Structure 1
Amino acid sequence: MQEGIAIGVLCVLVGGVAAQWIAWRLKLPAIVLLFALGLLVGPVFGIIHPSVTFGRFLSPMVGLAVAIIVFEGGLALDFREWRAAGEGVLRLTAFALPINWALGTLAAHYVGQLGWGPAFLFGAITVVTGPTVVLPLLRHTRLQRRTAAFLRWEAILNDPVGAILATLVLEVLLMRTGAGPGAFLTGILPNMLLSLGLAIVAGVLPALLVRWAFLRDQMPEILKTPVLLTTALMVYAGCNARMEGAGLMASTVFGMALANLKVPGISELRRFKESLVVLMVSALFVILTADLDRAVLARLSWPIIGLTVTLLFVVRPLAILISTARSSLTGPERLLAAWIAPRGIVAAAVAGVAGLRLQQAGYPTAELVMPAVFATIAATMVLHGFTLRPLARRLKLTLSNSPGLAVVGASGWTTDLVGVLNRLDVPVLLVDTFPGALAAARAEQVPVLQAELLSQHGLHGLEDSPVDYLIAATPDPIYNGLVCARLAPELGRERAFQVSPGTGKLDLYRGLSRDARGKVLGQEGWDFPTLDRLYREGWRFEAVPALDPSLDQLPEPEPAIPVSIGQPAPLPLMIVRQGGRLVVMSVEDVAQAEAIAGDMTVLLCPPAPAGRAPRVELFVTA
């Protein structure tokens, strides 16, 4: 038995992580591959049977994992976004949810041929747009900040509300076999309102307590992340014991409170929980899909397929267009929200429990609730997963289709660099705190950000720009390393660069740790004073087509040969590939990239021979 559980867990984790990696390499939505993997190892080949392997522990395990996922989603809900997206979020939640429920119920009854009771339950389950699906899709798609906020807030807020609504509908339907209709007003409704109130209190009070303890240094660093995760699970379990679905709301509220109370130490939790949530989402999608019974798939019929099509092309678009009429949402934003509504883990988990209870109560067609919800989940994950990015691009709601570069520190040579890249249509952003230093870049129509990058204002400003690469180029090497260390987990350590901290500082034993700095820009000798001196001596950046015949006339210095021998040679800094991808040169790269036909090479070129620059001791690569 124990070996079976261990093998099941291993298969789920290895398969889920492998699917995530393949999706990253092929630039595909990971949820689609996870869903396909679950079908293959479960209903198709019967390799794993989660219900048999994990038994009665499966449902609590899924619940706790979902609690951590919605807690992570709550941490992403910053009330500052409400200023720009507040009306849209309100329209997509408070207004669109009841319309979705009503239209979904009608579609389930008249198109899916479900009885009124199961139809009401199906409509309540499918109002959610799960964060387990939406958040990975948003990471995969570079949506504008306001548009992404609409989808993020809707998914995270609707998830617990939809679970509570389904629970409420189920209790009302089960009253037929128990107490009279008056029990709803005297028992179910007061209990629901009390549970919701307790969920809000249970989310806010622990956040205030955590803030008090963290601000007064009453918690060691090593315990901060475990305490926060444990508290999120605790508030989930406590509130869920009183009412199904209330635990999800409590976990969400707890995350929102932590994010907006500015609790110190949250940044470390964010990095850890992002990795944890990726692992959990991978495992949950595989487990819940693999747990589908073949009998459920056998119940898929033309009415259920018609119901799925109606939900996709009629119910959701009509509900969104009605609820957002005469709102601040633009036409493209309304169209995107009308189409993108993937359902996820919560819908599957609620349908599995509620549908079975309704079937046991004797409701006709209750056995169709699970296959109908499954068909909706499958269709929305596949269709919305593959169409979100191209549709957003067509509606011009993405930040940029090309990778962007942020340069921190405005000086003569960095302004010259971003100017050259801007003329190549590479999305660039020059960041500095001093407005005078940014004046030259502004004059060339280069996007700038006047902010301390490590402040909340600076980080939020960075989110509004399509930034995939970073070059920290201030005169302070320690600050450059701090910026790279802060942003490397989000951008990727291979995309965070800084000017060299100086010759000898890259020694792995005595120098700056790789975790405390970015990759060295160019060669080890290219520190800020050297690059600044070259600029003052007349060196300038130029973009030259790769394999251009004129390049053959340039002297080719051998690796590790000082430029002072003979005529100064151009120094290669980066390659702009066709399609906009950047390759930034670094001495720390194991394999040096080579430009091919169609690429543009960005070089730091010496002055013309008539104004030959003084010789400098600088090492370059060929």
Structure 2
Amino acid sequence: MSIHVDPGLVALVAAIVGLGVGAQFLAAKYRVPSVLFLIVAGLAIGPEGLGIITADTFGEALSTIVGVSVAIIVFEGSFRLEVETLRNAPRAVWWLITVGAAIAFLGTALTVRLLLGASWDVSLLVGALLVATGPTVIAPILAVVPVREAVATTLETEGIVNDVTAAILAIVLFKAMTAQELAPRGYVLLFAERLGMGALTGLVVAAVVWYLLTQVDLPSPAAPQVARLLTLAAAVVAFAIADSVFSEAGIAAAATAGFTLGNLDLPHRESILQFKQDVTLLVLSFVFITLAALLEFAELLALGVAGLAVVAVLMMFLRPLIVLLSTAGGGFSIRERLFISFVGPRGIIPASVATLFAIRLQTETPPSDPAGADILLGTVFLVILVTVVLEAGFARQFAAALGVIQSDD
């Protein structure tokens, strides 16, 4: 039996990995978040650049690749989130992930409705997706902008939690949108099903991994490697099981498994954490470059000035309003509150889910809604592009101007 290997596809994957590693190198050298270099690399090899990657390059497998990659990324972020850190976290964190998230959702939806004239269905869908800031863009910023622990914890926790809730909320709204008729209690049921299934699956997978690592004797030389591989498997297995039952429940499962294992007394914890960070960097590079490569400027230009106005409202009015309200009396200086207001870039979750929804709106939804798909995809990618370039690209300079950088190692 012969196995056919596509040399072109192998070379393409190698090129993406190489560009990703190069982006990480440049980020470390110039103290700029790697996300900025990853997007530039993606645009360079996409249809708007050299044309090396097109929408047909990975075919239907792209959504699966992105889904598994997001699971690994969310798992790693959750693994580093300790209960003690949350217990001592500023109360602003809880305001940001509850009231703040609700304001972001409704405020974004209203902005899209008024400025772009989108239907309420599409507007609410965009609003749900853009609630997520996410660890995929926050972590690279904090890696080069060392701020006070309370500030970093606030941004990281907001990103991890809102990644999960935004993805589940978006899929619930999309299912309601395609179902045409859904009672209010139906929304709650759909949301609870996915969150509950994800949490249950994550807990079970974490328990199995904990048992294998702590109760089963392994030869000493092999133990660290087995520990690393088991935790990586936990992310993928939890995602796959939950997502096979309810779409988008997998993200909640990966987050729950990561958070649970991260707060258990595991052997070889430091080795596991370092391994997960390295894998996450490679996965993050691959996904960001690939999705950026699929971006078409025509979709952005079609939004015109109104699209830029939406981004301006989100960055200059809605985000500062949410942060200033959430952090009032929370022990932050006005300079730190301004920095948190500035750092709200969107990343992988909105990009990947919006791409999937846009395809379904164009082809599967009865009736199909190509115009809604264009607004959805164009708005989400425009917000991602502008916020990453400005907020991730200039985060260190803004932090230095405000005087909130703690050290410069």
Point out the structure with max Rg over C-alpha.
1
User: Does 2:125 correspond to 1:121?
Assistant: yes
Residues 383-427 of structure 1: CA deviation (Å, up to 9, x unaligned): 1113322332333332224x3xxxxxxxxxxxxxxxxxxxxxxxx
**C-alpha spacing 1:261/1:224, structure 2 compared with 1 (3 Å):** same
Match of 1:316 in 2: 319
Is 1:193 equivalent to 2:192 in the alignment? yes
SS for the counterpart of 2:46 is helix
Partner of 2:404: 397
Does the 8 Å CA contact 2:146/2:407 hold for their aligned counterparts? Answer: yes
Q: Aligned residue for 1:39?
A: 43
- Partners of 1:232 and 1:371 lie apart in 2 by 31
CA contact (8 A) 1:356 1:367 kept: no
CA distance in 2, matches of 1:341, 1:294: 23
**Quick one: structure 1 residues 73 and 327, their matched pair in 2 at CA, closer, same or farther if it must change by over 3 Å?**
same
Taking only the aligned residue pairs, the percentage that are identical comes to 29
Preserved contact between residue 232 and residue 251 of structure 1 (Cα < 8 Å): yes
Structure 1 pair 36–131 and aligned structure 2 pair: CA distance change class (3 A): same
Whether 1:381 and 2:388 are equivalent positions in the alignment is yes
Deviation at 1:205, TM superposition (A): 2.4
Unmatched runs of 5 consecutive residues or more in structure 2: none
Q: Given the superposition, is the C-alpha separation of residues 245 and 181 from structure 1 closer, same or farther in structure 2, using an over 3 Å criterion?
A: closer
Structure richer in strand, relative to its length: 1
Which moved further from structure 2: 146-155 or 2-11?
2-11
Q: Kindly tell me: are residues 2 and 261 of structure 1, through their superposed partners in 2, closer, same or farther at Cα, counting changes over 3 Å?
A: same
Per the alignment, residue 182 of structure 2 pairs with 181
Partner of 1:204: 203
* Cα distance in 2, alignment partners of residues 394 and 81 from structure 1: 28
Q: CA deviation at 1:303?
A: 0.9
Please state how far the C-alpha of 1:141 moved relative to its aligned partner: 1.1
Distance in 2 between residues matched to 1:24 and 1:47, nearest whole Å: 28
Asked if residue 341 in structure 1 is aligned to residue 348 in structure 2, the reply is no
* Distance across 2 between alignment mates of 1:126 and 1:310: 13
> How far apart are 1:18 and its partner, in Å?
1.6
Give 1:332 shift.
2.8
Distance 1:170 1:397 in 2: 40
2:227 paired residue among 185, 205, 224: 224
Report the secondary structure of 1:44's partner residue. Answer: coil
> Residue in 2 aligned with 1:533?
none
Give the distance between the partners of 1:332 and 1:243, measured in 2 at CA: 43
Q: C-alpha distance in 2, partners of 1:290/1:181?
A: 36
1:258 paired residue number: 261
CA gap 1:115/1:359 in 2 versus in 1, 3 angstroms? farther
The alpha-carbon deviation at position 158 of structure 1 amounts to 0.7
Displacement, 1:92?
A: 1.2
| Aligned partner of 1:267 among 259, 267, 270 | 270
Q: How does 1:587-602 map to 2 (within 5 A)?
A: none
Single out whichever of 156-165 and 382-391 deviates more from structure 2: 382-391
1:89 equivalent among 89, 93, 111: 93
The 3-state SS of whatever aligns with 2:406 is coil
Task: Give the structure 1 partner of residue 375 of structure 2.
Answer: 368
Residues 168 and 195 in structure 2, CA contact (< 8 A), matched pair in contact too: no
Residues 95-115 of structure 1: CA distance to partner in whole angstroms, max 9, x if unpaired? 200000111011111123322
State the match for 2:291 in structure 1. Answer: 288
Q: For 1:489-525, what per-residue CA distance to the aligned partner results, in whole angstroms no more than 9, with x for missing partners?
A: xxxxxxxxxxxxxxxxxxxxxxxxxxxxxxxxxxxxx
SS in structure 2 opposite 1:262?
coil
Change (3 A) 1:378 1:21: same
Other-structure match for 2:111: 107
Match of 2:245 among 242, 265, 270: 242
Q: Which structure has the higher relative contact order (CA within 8 Å, separation 6+)?
A: 2
Whether 1:9 aligns to 2:13 is yes
For the residue of structure 1 that corresponds to 2:20, the secondary structure is helix
> 1:19: how far off?
2.2
Report if the CA contact (8 A) 1:122-1:373 is conserved: yes
Poorly superposed stretches of 4+, deviation over 6 Å: none
CA contact (8 A) 1:4 1:53 kept: no
Query: Structure 1 residues 235 and 205 mapped into 2: Cα distance closer, same or farther (>3 Å)?
Result: same
Deviates further, 86-95 or 135-144: 86-95
Aligned to 2:67: 63
Q: Work out the number of aligned pairs and report it.
A: 397
Matches of 1:193 and 1:250 in 2, distance apart? 13
Could you tell me which residue of structure 2 aligns to residue 154 of structure 1? 158
Instruction: Check whether the contact 2:399–2:405 (CA below 8 A) recurs between aligned residues.
Output: yes
Partners in 1 of 2:178 and 2:198 — Cα distance?
Answer: 24
Note the C-alpha offset of 1:259: 1.2
Among candidates 95, 117, 138, match of residue 142 of structure 2: 138
Output the TM-score relative to the length of structure 1: 0.61
Instruction: Note the 1:562-573 alignment, pairs <5 A.
Output: none
Change (3 A) 1:50 1:269: farther
Decide whether the 8 Å contact of 1:17 with 1:279 is kept in 2.
yes
Change in CA separation of 1:323 and 1:145 when aligned onto 2, cut-off 3 Å: closer
Aligned CA distance change for structure 1 residues 142 and 210 (closer, same or farther; 3 Å): same
Go from structure 1 to structure 2 and tell me whether the alpha carbon gap of 1:57 and 1:189 turns closer, same or farther (over 3 Å shift).
same
State the SS of the aligned residue for 2:60: helix
CA deviation after TM superposition for structure 1 residue 86, in Å: 4.5
The aligned runs of 1:209-608 (5 Å cut-off) are 209-219=208-218, 220-221=222-223, 222-360=225-363, 361=365, 362-363=368-369, 364-401=371-408, 403=409
